[in-house]
Amino acid sequence: MNTPPKWWKVLELANHYELSPRAIYGEIADGNLVAHRFGRRRGALRIADSDRIDWQLRRKSVLSDSSIETLENELTQEKEPNERTA
């Protein structure tokens, strides 16, 4: 069964990577991080988890070592087969 994608708020992403929200907005403005706008007019920006992973892999130099280690653990868990029994 597929799980729905996780959507990150700018502030959540900033806290996760120990960056300022302004830095995240800058990455979006520069085209380095893909964000989706939900709602009318200005709406709310959200970052899909897959876009976050792509961005993190390209931007390792600006991220903390703990953030990189967290991503590597997440990717390892995704690749391991589900070990639940039916």
Mean pLDDT of 73-85: 55
The pLDDT of residue 24 is above 50? yes
User: Which residue type, as a one-letter code, is found at position 77?
Assistant: Q
Domains in the chain: ranges and CATH:
7-79 (1.10.10)
Angle, helix 49-58 to helix 65-79, in steps of 10 degrees: 130
Tokens in use for 68?
Answer: 């990189």
Residue pLDDT, tens place only, 34-47 = 999 988 887 899 99
pTM (two decimals): 0.65
DSSP per-residue string spanning 61-86: GGS-HHHHHHHHHHHHHHHSPP----
Residue pLDDT, tens place only, 39-76 = 888 789 999 999 998 998 888 765 655 665 665 666 56
The pLDDT of residue 1 is above 60? no
Tokens in use for 82?
Answer: 């589900």
